[in-house]
């Protein structure tokens, strides 16, 4: 059976070039980069080279990059690690990844105050609402760059200017956007930015946080002197090497991939619109990650579409991977004021470097009959047909 992986926002397949770069560090090059002897010293050089590659995709100084274990850790560090005297108010949005929202909720139980700004029907925050939420004690604004469920890209540059004007720290969760669209920290105007290896065809278990010079941070993990005391623990060397390679490749391929993925994503969108009635796009029509297409199929359950597509070898997702398994409607789609019954019919198709146009052809072949079959079985569809007088 054909296998088509369209769940790249959950995680991406490892690029073979990345695996090749990592192999020596899983085998003979095992030294601890903190060791003074040559086993350690040779590894230290390689780790620092990888740091340069991660810094490059962000237009940052390598000294501003701290390796972590994942995107969630980077986001936790941004929120729990930042401090400024007498400031304990955080501004975020209603559509952040759960690792931001739940960290905010945790901080609220520890005396912090959090404002969750709203989004419009495309899932875009309003910079003006953010500016109006700033108070005397505002410590940090954290707004994600590209949303993982709908792909909508937030006006980070504008928010960055506001944050700067008010002397407030600004963090962006760019886990989903790094390597897919430009993410230079000076263009975005951020003090802090999170990224993760496995979302850009690198390995799992490695992430990073960009910390702009002079930003004061507590470490999340105290102990050794690793990462200039900002994150203790022996480095995940194979992960770091793979992450560096993944950033190098993503940087090299970005311009072409942006065009190519946008084009095949649009083929999928147009094909669905042509072949299947009663569907809608969720997310911004154009200002969106090239990898992401979220659509609602009315009168069917996204869950059963997912299972039936899986039986045909096609992997997609309903809402966020982190919230699937529960039938809670996606908090992102809810914040966009999409009615719950339409949210329940939503599917997320997310593309990556290894998807080809023929993957889309296959989905367009198998999906329409599945939707039709599901609708035939749906009481909602029966009602709809009666109302339409069919
Ligand atoms: C995947 C993801 C995360 C979490 O990253 P992990 O590496 O899985 O911890 C955070 N934010 C966004 C936007 C993501 O897509």
Q: Count how many domains the chain has.
A: 2
In the sheet where 113-117 sits, what is the strand order?
Answer: 65-68, 207-211, 192-196, 169-173, 138-142, 89-93, 113-117
Q: Which domain holds residue 259?
A: 4-11+254-388
Out of 201, 229, 250, pick the residue that ends a domain.
250
Residue 177 and residue 54 share a domain: yes
Q: Looking at the CA of residue 321, tell me the nearest atom of ligand 1.
A: 1
Out of 250, 277, 311, pick the residue that ends a domain.
250
With a 6 A CB cut-off, is 231 part of the ligand 1 pocket? no
Out of 250, 273, 291, pick the residue that ends a domain.
250
Question: What pLDDT score was predicted for residue 326?
Answer: 59
Residue 136 and residue 232 share a domain: yes
With a 6 A CB cut-off, is 97 part of the ligand 1 pocket? yes
**Buried residues in 329-340 as b, exposed as e (16+ CB within 10 A):** bbbbbbbbebee
Judge whether 87 counts as a catalytic residue.
Answer: no
Question: What pLDDT score was predicted for residue 190?
Answer: 98
Question: What pLDDT score was predicted for residue 389?
Answer: 59
Residue 375 and residue 300 share a domain: yes
Question: What pLDDT score was predicted for residue 382?
Answer: 77
Distance 227 CA to ligand 1 centre (A): 21
Question: What pLDDT score was predicted for residue 384?
Answer: 78
Question: From CA 52, how far away is CA 208, in angstroms rounded?
Answer: 12
With a 6 A CB cut-off, is 71 part of the ligand 1 pocket? yes
Estimate the crossing angle of helix 237-275 against helix 38-58, to 10 degrees. Answer: 30
Residue 263 and residue 231 share a domain: no
Domain of 91: which CATH number? 3.40.640.10
Residue 341 and residue 246 share a domain: no
Distance 196 CA to ligand 1 centre (A): 7
Question: What pLDDT score was predicted for residue 345?
Answer: 94
Residue 288 and residue 230 share a domain: no
Residue 207 and residue 80 share a domain: yes
Helical H segments across 184-330, by residue range: 185-188, 237-275, 302-311
Per-residue pLDDT tens, the chain, 390 aa: give them.
899 999 999 999 999 999 999 999 999 999 999 999 999 999 999 999 999 999 999 999 999 999 999 999 999 999 999 999 999 999 999 999 999 999 999 999 999 999 999 999 999 999 999 999 999 999 999 999 999 999 999 999 999 999 999 999 999 999 999 999 999 999 999 999 999 999 999 999 999 999 999 999 999 999 999 999 999 999 999 999 999 999 999 999 999 999 999 999 999 999 999 999 999 999 999 999 999 999 999 999 999 999 999 999 999 999 644 445 557 899 999 999 999 999 999 999 999 999 999 999 999 999 999 999 999 988 778 777 777 654
Domain of 318: which CATH number? 3.90.1150.10
Residue 137 and residue 228 share a domain: yes
What would the DSSP string read from start to end of 149-196?
TT-BBP-HHHHHHHHHHHT-EEEEE-TTTBTTB---HHHHT-SEEEEE
Question: What pLDDT score was predicted for residue 323?
Answer: 47
Residue 291 and residue 320 share a domain: yes
Residue 280 and residue 241 share a domain: no
Q: What is the pTM of this model?
A: 0.96
Residue 280 and residue 192 share a domain: no
Residue 266 and residue 222 share a domain: no
């Amino acid at each position: 059976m054909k296998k088509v992986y369209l769940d790249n926002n959950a995680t991406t397949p490892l690029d073979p070039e990345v695996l090749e770069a990592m192999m020596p560090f899983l085998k003979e090059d095992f030294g601890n980069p903190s060791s003074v002897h040559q086993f350690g010293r040779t590894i230290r050089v390689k780790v620092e080279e990888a740091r340069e590659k991660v810094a490059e995709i962000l237009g940052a100084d390598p000294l501003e990059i701290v390796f972590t274990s994942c995107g969630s850790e980077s986001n936790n560090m941004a929120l729990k690690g930042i401090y400024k005297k007498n400031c304990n108010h955080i501004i975020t949005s209603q559509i952040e990844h759960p690792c931001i929202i739940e960290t905010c909720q945790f901080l609220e139980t520890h005396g912090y105050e959090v404002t969750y700004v709203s989004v419009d029907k495309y899932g875009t925050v309003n910079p003006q609402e953010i500016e109006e939420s700033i108070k005397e004690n505002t410590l940090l604004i954290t707004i994600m760059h590209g949303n993982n469920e709908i792909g909508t890209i937030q006006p980070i540059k504008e928010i960055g200017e506001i944050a700067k004007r008010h002397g407030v720290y600004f963090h962006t969760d760019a886990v989903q956007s790094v390597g897919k669209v430009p993410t230079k920290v000076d263009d975005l105007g951020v003090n802090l930015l999170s990224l993760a290896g496995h979302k850009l065809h690198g390995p799992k278990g490695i992430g990073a946080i960009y910390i702009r010079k002079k930003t004061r941070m507590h470490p999340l993990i105290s102990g050794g002197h690793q990462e200039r005391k900002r994150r203790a623990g022996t480095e995940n060397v194979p992960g770091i090497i793979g992450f560096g390679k993944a950033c190098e490749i993503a940087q090299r391929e970005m311009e072409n991939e942006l065009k190519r993925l946008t084009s095949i994503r649009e083929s999928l969108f147009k094909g669905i619109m042509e072949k299947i009635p009663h569907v809608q796009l969720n997310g911004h029509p154009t200002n969106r990650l090239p990898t992401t297409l979220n659509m609602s199929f009315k009168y069917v359950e996204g869950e059963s579409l997912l299972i039936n597509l899986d039986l045909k070898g096609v992997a997609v997702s309903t809402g966020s991977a982190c919230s699937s398994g529960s039938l809670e409607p996606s908090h992102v789609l809810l914040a966009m004021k999409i009615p719950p019954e339409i949210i329940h019919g939503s599917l997320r198709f997310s593309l990556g470097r290894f998807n080809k146009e023929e993957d889309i052809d296959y989905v367009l072949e198998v999906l329409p009959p599945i939707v039709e079959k599901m609708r035939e079985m749906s009481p909602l569809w029966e009602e709809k047909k009666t109302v339409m007088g069919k």
